Structure 1
């Protein structure tokens, strides 16, 4: 993890602090030994202080769906390249990150999982998300359809065993053979079961949710469209209070109205913004490899070479935050919930990060008045530019 000089003991003053109970207009956050020691308003406690000059103080972002950044993908077996990808997002305020892997043959995917487990233990990434290969060929997007397969228990166990507890979420199309049984098996193993890249009808989605599926992988994208006579996965997942919905808020995958409608219906308890970023995030246009497929990025938009299918994004969470507020009508507090508080709860990290309150890790972002990151702190240490 790239930080500058190790943890600092300082009180950040002069900012608008977004807390679980609301915004402190003249707030302060005291950081001691890598933790938030106290949060308050008015006169700051004794000790060294740093004035954030009217900026917003928000929790560090938590991204539960990200494939890479900084020119690197999480599929790499080289720890230095994975760290580079994580750092590219950390500089944009993402202090907690799940490494997402795309569809590959199970043995190859198991090797990728094994390569990431040490970095999960070291805290570079907070876990692993497998987006495939248990997906619908009809809605595969930027996944190689030749690799896709039903979620048999043996294949799932191979991947879970490879991670030794590091795999936190697996996306499944529940209409596939063994789909609902696979959801139950994941839940029994304390792994989040997500529904995505699915051509299921609403009637096929309901049993998977009853079996314990609790996440909609990038709602709207990679799914049978919403229809007034067949709501499909979008209607079923958005309307079920047990399901948290991911939204890619780059204003390319989703129109602002779609983001607003989904976020208003799901509410702060069920809305999570994600990047679905590929290696191109933070780098720029060019040609990239995503799961063995050639992807071209033009004007910041990745698509499969020779086609129009979107292939992830070049989004960072600070941009998702700004888009949500400036273009989609979310309040600052709602955006904080969607980029930090709710995803931390979903991952079982609510007692460690995701909010600005005493006792949690000092993971925070100082945003300027245009909601652009001015400084990022991870576990009490300032992050390098």
Structure 2
């Protein structure tokens, strides 16, 4: 499947990419991370696979999008380390909700492991989002989608992302 996707991406002009997991049972995520790591190491046709992007299961229900909340998990350093190990250190990005318990510690830890952290699928406030950027978070997953919007009394995640020079903003351009 990864080879077919890589060929499709190359036909669309993509030179390299990060296959992305979704919120699913942990054993399914492990299997996907292993397959992505194998593809990274052996190479193959099409666009180059640079590593994996974990979008979920560390979100909150308020802005869940298509992610099933019954599969959301708490942030535990040991579990994050296990994901990094299973990926054979090819895990490049983890998306999470910054208001979850342990989020700031998880962000710092992931950054120490050279894993980028994006914020999303969250009901975080401006202050919680800024605290996550202060801890090392890199930006917002698909800005405006699956997060607190811009309001004059509570600028939310969008306001924090738009006003913080450290933040990268991913957009869905549809």
Question: What is the TM-score with the length of structure 1 in the denominator?
Answer: 0.43
**Contact 2:133–2:139 (Cα < 8 Å) also in 1:** no
Aligned residue number for residue 120 of structure 1: 40
Q: Which of 109, 117, 120 is equivalent to 1:185? A: 109
Return the structure number with greater helix share.
Answer: 2
Return 5+ residue gaps in structure 1 as ranges.
1-80, 251-385
* 1:195 counterpart (108, 119, 123): 119
- Residue 150 of structure 1: CA displacement? 1.7
How far off is 1:126 after superposition? Answer: 1.0
Asked if 1:93 corresponds to 2:13, the answer is: yes
Aligned to 1:142: 66
State the 1:182 CA deviation. Answer: 0.6
Q: Any runs of at least 4 consecutive aligned residues in structure 1 with deviations exceeding 3 A, and if so which?
A: none
Deviation at 1:105, TM superposition (A): 2.1
Distance in 1 separating the partners of 2:40 and 2:64: 28
> Partner residue of 1:167?
91
Cα deviation, residue 215, structure 1: 2.1
1:130–1:171 contact (8 Å) kept in structure 2: yes
SS at match of 2:18: strand
Aligned to 2:27: 107
Q: Is the 8 A contact 2:149 2:159 kept in 1?
A: no
CA distance in 2, matches of 1:193, 1:200: 15
Structure with the largest fraction of strand:
1
Indicate conservation of the 8 Å contact 1:150/1:179, yes or no.
no
Query: Which runs of 5 or more structure 2 residues have no equivalent in the other structure?
Result: none
Query: Deviation digits for residues 198-250 of structure 1, max 9, x if unmatched?
Result: 10001111111001001211110110121111000000011100011111112
Q: Which of the two has higher C-alpha Rg?
A: 1
Please state how far the C-alpha of 1:159 moved relative to its aligned partner.
0.7
Question: What is the aligned length?
Answer: 170
CA distance in 2, matches of 1:142, 1:155: 23
Mapped partners of 2:100, 2:137: distance in 1 = 15
Instruction: Tell me the SS of whatever aligns to 1:219.
Output: coil
Secondary structure of residue in 1 paired with 2:19: strand
Partner Cα separation in structure 2 for residue 97 and residue 122 of structure 1 = 15
Q: 1:216 to 1:169 in 2, by over 3 A?
A: same
Larger RCO of the pair (alpha carbons < 8 Å, separation 6+): 1
- Which residue is equivalent to 1:327? none
State the secondary structure of the residue aligned to 1:104. coil
- Alignment map for 1:200-215 (pairs within 5 Å): 200-215=124-139
Is the 1:110–1:158 Cα contact (8 Å) retained in structure 2? no
Q: How big is the shift at 1:108?
A: 2.2
Residue 222 (structure 1) aligned with residue 142 (structure 2): no
